[in-house]
Structure 1
Amino acid sequence: MEIRDLTPDDQDALLDVRRRSFGPVPPAEVESWRALAVPDLNEGRYLGVFDGGRLAGSARVRGFTQWWHGRPQPLAGVAGVTVNPEYRGRGVGTAVMRAAVGRATDLGDAVSALYPATTPLYRATGYEHAGAQHLVTIPTEALRAIKPAGDVPVRRMDAGDAAEVVALLHRLHGQARASGPISWDERTWARRLAREDDFLYLAPDGYAVYRWDGDRMRVDNLVAGSQETARALWSLVGSASSVAKTVTAVLAPDDPVRWLLRERSVEEVTMVRWMFRVIDVAAAVERRGFPAGATLDTTVEVEDPVRPGNTGRWRLTVSGGRGEAKALSADAGAGAGPALRINGLSALYAGIPTATLRRTGLLSGDNSHDEALDTAFAAQPYMLDYF
C-alpha cells in the first residue's frame, strides 16, 4: 500500500469512501463539500492510502487555532478518517493516522485534536480523551426572561465580518483564559457567515450564530465579553419563545448564561467527546498558557511510539504564566520523576487530574510533584465547534 497526498482529481474517490464510511451525502450538500475540500486538497491537508489505483482510506488535517489557558496556538484538527469496508481490519486506519500525525508536524502544529468515531484506533496513535462539546437544552421562555442591561448595539453580520469575528475570538478567549475552544481561519469563517439559513448578529464584544432546528432553535456559537452583551444576545435568541419551545445551545461548561437564568435545576446535556494529542512536547509546552501564580520544576519520562523525538526524559518548568520542556540526556543527573506514555502526557496537558491519570494507568512513578502538575495544567477544556 502507498500513502500520498490527495489532489482535486481524487475528489470522486474521496467522496465514495466518505459515503461508504459515514453514509450518503445529500445531493444538495455535495457541491458545498467539494468547495470546502479544495483548499485543503491544494494545501497538502488530505492524505490517502492506496492499494494500486484504489483509495483504501483517507484523513484530513484541518488547520485551526486553539486556546489553552487563554493562549492561542495552531492546532491540527484531524477529520474525515475513512476506510473502505473491504480494507477494514488490515491496518489502513492506523497507517493513515500515523501519516496524519506526521503531516501535522510538517505543517508546524505541536498539538492535535479529533472527534472520535471509535477510541482504540486513536489511542493507538497517541490520542486521549480530553474534553467535550456541551449541548444544553434550555426552555426558550427562560432565555426570553433574561432582560437586556444597557443599550448594546447589535447588528446583523455576514461574510464581510469574518476578520472581525476571528479577532474577537482571539480577544475574548484570551481574556477568559479559555482552554480547548477553536477558531476556523478567516476564509472558512467567511463561508460559514454566508449560510442563508443562519441568524447572525454581532456586537462590539460578542456575536451569535443560531438557526432553526426542526421545531426548536439551535445556537451554534454565542460568545460575549460582558454581562450586557450576554444579556442582549441571549434575550435576542429568546425572542422566538412564542414559536420555539426549546433551544439547544452549544455552551462552555461555565458559560455565563447558566447563571443568568432565573431558574436552574435539572439540565438536559449531551456531550460529544473529543480527543487530544501532544505532537511536539517542547513546542506544545512553550506555546501553552499557564496560571500566572503556578510554579513547577520536575522531570518526566515520556514514551511516544509514533513520534520518537518525544521519547525520553524532559525537565518541565512553569513560572510567570510560561512553560518550558527541555530534553535531558540519558546521563543527566536529575532525579527520577513520573512516567507517562504520550497519551498520558496529552491528557495531563488538557487538565485531566493526576489522580485520574494514576488510577487509569496513564501516569506512574514519583508522585511528589502531582499537586504542582495539577495546578500548572489545570483546565476545563471544551469546544463550541464540531469538525
Structure 2
Amino acid sequence: MEIRVLDAAGLDATRDLRSQGFGALPDGQWAQIIRLAGHTLRGGRQFAGYEDGRPVATARIHDLPQWWHGRPVSMGGVGGVVVAPEARGRGVGRRLMTEVLERCTAFGHALSVLYPATTPLYRSLGWEHAGSLHRAGLPAEALREVRADASVGVRRAGPDDAAEVAEVIRRVHRDAGHCGPIDWGEKAWRIYLADRDVYHYLAEDGFLAYHWGEGNRSLEVELLVAASEATLRALWALVGTGSSIVPTVYANVAPHDPVFWLTRERTSEEVQRTRWMLRVLDAPAAVEARGFPPGVSAEAALEIDDPQLPANTGSWRLVVKDGTGRLERGDAAGRPAVRVGARGLAALYGGVPTSTLRATGLLEGDAPVLDAVFAAAPFALDHF
C-alpha cells in the first residue's frame, strides 16, 4: 500500500470510501466537509492509502491545541479514519495509523487524540482511553425556570465574530483550568458561524451554539461556556425558552457542568459517554506544556517503554511545582521508578488513578504522589 498526502482532488476521490465507513454523505454534507478540510489540505494533513491506483484507507490530522489545567498543549486530532471493507483484516489500518503516528510526531505535536471506532488497533500503537464527551439529556421545563439577569448582553453571532468567539472560549477554558477541551481557532469558527442551521449567541464572557434535533423534537446544545454565573444563567435561560416546543434538551457538557446545579429540580439525568483516546507523542514537551494542580509540588522517577516512539523510552525525573512541570533525563535520586508503557503514560497523563493502572498492568511500582500530580477529569465538548 502506498500512502499519499492528499490534495483537493485526492480528497474528493475518498468520498465513496468515507460513505462506506460512515454512512451516506449527501452533497450538502460533503460540501461542508470540503470547506472544513481547507486547513488540513493546506497543511498536508489529509492522507490516503492506495492500492492499484485507488484509495482503500484514509485519515486526517487536525491541529487542535488541547487544554490541560488551563494551559494549551499542541495536539494532533486524528479523525476520518476508515478502511475499505474489502481491505480490512490484512494490516491496512495498522499501516495507515503507523504513518499517522509518525506524521503527528513530525508535525511537532506533543499529544494526539482520537475517537475510536475500534480499540485494539489504537491500543497496539500506544493510544489509551483518557477522557469522554458527555451528552446529557435535560428536561426543557427545568431550564425554562432558570432566571436570566437582564443586565447581561447576549447577541446573535456570525462569521465576522469568529475572532471574538475563539477568544471568549479560550478565556473560559483557561480561567476555569479545564482539562480536555480543544481550541478550533478563528478560521474554523468563521466556517462554523456561517451555518444557518445552528444558532450562535455571544456574550462578553460566554458563548452558545445550538440547533434543532430529532426531526425538531429536541434541541441540541453543541457548546455552551460561560465564565460568570450571570452569563451562564442568561445562556441557559435562552435555551430554556424552547420548552414550549420540545420536552428535552441534549447538551455536550463537562462531567461536573454547572448546569446540573443551576436547575431547581434535579433528581436524575440521562448522560451518554463517548470515550476518546490519548497518545503522548513527545513526553518532555507534553509535561512542560501541561498545567498541573496548583499547590502540588512533587518529584518522581518514571521508566517509560515506548517501542513506537523510542525518544520517549528511558529513565526520567518528573518535577512538578507551582502549576508547571518538567521531565528530565535521569533518575530521581532515592526514589524507586514507576514503570509505564505508552498506554500507561497516556492514561496517567489523563488522570487515571495509579491503582487502576496497576490493576490492569499498565503501571508497575508505587508512587501515590502521581495521583495528585496528574489529577484531572478530562472531557471534550466537540467531535472531530
What is the 5 A alignment of 1:69-84? 69-84=69-84
What's the TM-score once normalised by structure 1's chain length?
0.96
Q: Which range is displaced more, 29-38 or 129-138? A: 29-38
Q: Residue 270 of structure 1: SS of its match in structure 2?
A: strand
For 1:380 and 1:128, locate their aligned partners in 2 and report how far apart those are by CA, in whole Å. Answer: 15
For 2:36 and 2:221, locate their aligned partners in 1 and report how far apart those are by CA, in whole Å. Answer: 22
Aligned twin of 2:183: 183
Q: Which range is displaced more, 104-113 or 1-10? A: 1-10
Aligned twin of 2:226: 224
Alignment partner of 1:375 out of 341, 358, 372? 372
Contact 1:63 1:185 in 2 (8 A): no
| 5+ long unaligned stretches in structure 2 | none
What is the 5 A alignment of 1:239-318? 239-318=241-320
Contact 1:150 1:228 in 2 (8 A): no
What is the 5 A alignment of 1:347-358? 347-358=347-358
Q: How far 1:185 sits from its partner (Å)?
A: 2.1
For 2:334 and 2:7, locate their aligned partners in 1 and report how far apart those are by CA, in whole Å. Answer: 49
Q: How far 1:255 sits from its partner (Å)?
A: 1.2
For 1:57 and 1:198, locate their aligned partners in 2 and report how far apart those are by CA, in whole Å. Answer: 31
Aligned twin of 2:57: 57
For 1:341 and 1:202, locate their aligned partners in 2 and report how far apart those are by CA, in whole Å. Answer: 44
**Relative to 1, partners in 2 of residues 1:110 and 1:334: Cα closer, same or farther, differing over 3 Å?**
farther
* Aligned-residue RMSD, C-alpha: 1.4
Contact 2:35 2:191 in 1 (8 A): no
Contact 1:112 1:276 in 2 (8 A): yes
2:343 maps to a residue whose letter is N
Q: Deviations over 1:253-295 (max 9, x none)?
A: 1111110110111211111111111100000000000112111
Q: How far 1:249 sits from its partner (Å)?
A: 0.9
Contact 1:73 1:287 in 2 (8 A): yes
Contact 2:135 2:272 in 1 (8 A): yes
What's the TM-score once normalised by structure 2's chain length?
0.96
Contact 2:50 2:56 in 1 (8 A): yes
Aligned twin of 1:35: 35
| Displacement over 4 Å in runs of 4+ | 332-335
Q: Deviations over 1:174-208 (max 9, x none)?
A: 11110001121211111111100111111110011
Aligned twin of 2:200: 200
Contact 1:115 1:274 in 2 (8 A): yes
Aligned twin of 2:114: 114
Q: What percentage of residue pairs aligned between the two structures are identical? A: 48
Q: Residue 182 of structure 1: SS of its match in structure 2?
A: coil
Q: Residue 28 of structure 1: SS of its match in structure 2?
A: helix
For 1:334 and 1:284, locate their aligned partners in 2 and report how far apart those are by CA, in whole Å. Answer: 25
Contact 1:2 1:49 in 2 (8 A): yes
Contact 1:113 1:277 in 2 (8 A): yes
For 1:159 and 1:373, locate their aligned partners in 2 and report how far apart those are by CA, in whole Å. Answer: 43
What is the 5 A alignment of 1:337-348? 337-348=337-348
For 1:39 and 1:315, locate their aligned partners in 2 and report how far apart those are by CA, in whole Å. Answer: 37
**Relative to 1, partners in 2 of residues 1:280 and 1:33: Cα closer, same or farther, differing over 3 Å?**
same
Q: How far 1:36 sits from its partner (Å)?
A: 2.1
Q: How far 1:335 sits from its partner (Å)?
A: 4.9
Do residues 326 (structure 1) and 328 (structure 2) align?
yes
Q: Residue 380 of structure 2: SS of its match in structure 1?
A: coil
Q: Deviations over 1:301-324 (max 9, x none)?
A: 111121111111111110111100
Q: Deviations over 1:137-191 (max 9, x none)?
A: 1111100101113510111111111111111122111111100011212111111
Q: Residue 183 of structure 1: SS of its match in structure 2?
A: coil
Aligned length: 382
Aligned twin of 1:133: 133
1:85 maps to a residue whose letter is P
2:327 maps to a residue whose letter is A
Contact 1:140 1:247 in 2 (8 A): yes
For 1:193 and 1:11, locate their aligned partners in 2 and report how far apart those are by CA, in whole Å. Answer: 24
Q: Residue 190 of structure 1: SS of its match in structure 2?
A: helix
